[in-house]
């Protein structure tokens, strides 16, 4: 029984998540011959404030990008 876990930032539409689930299921079937009914997919969504790269959360990056730039 393949169990595929995916962590992603929240905010994607339900249709996009359904496409991802189907694509991951199909990939498991193609790659290892798993029966479709045995493939499990777990999507874990997280707030942008709960994911960071290089010590800066995605929420902080988005806030900084939204600030008007001051030209010197």
Give the separation between CA 4 and CA 25, rounded to whole angstroms: 9
Catalytic residue of the set 2, 13, 14, 48: 2
Sign of the C-alpha dihedral computed for residues 53, 55, 59 and 63 taken in this order: negative
Q: Which residues pair with 9 in a beta bridge?
A: 46
Mark whether 2 is an active-site residue.
Answer: yes
Question: Which residues are marked as active site?
Answer: 2
């Amino acid at each position: 029984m393949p169990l595929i876990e995916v962590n992603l930032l929240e905010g994607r539409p339900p249709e996009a998540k359904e496409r991802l689930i189907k694509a991951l299921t199909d990939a498991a079937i193609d790659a290892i011959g798993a029966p479709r009914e045995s493939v499990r997919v777990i999507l874990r969504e997280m707030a942008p404030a709960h994911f960071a790269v290089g010590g800066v959360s995605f929420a902080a990056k988005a806030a900084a990008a939204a600030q008007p730039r001051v030209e010197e």
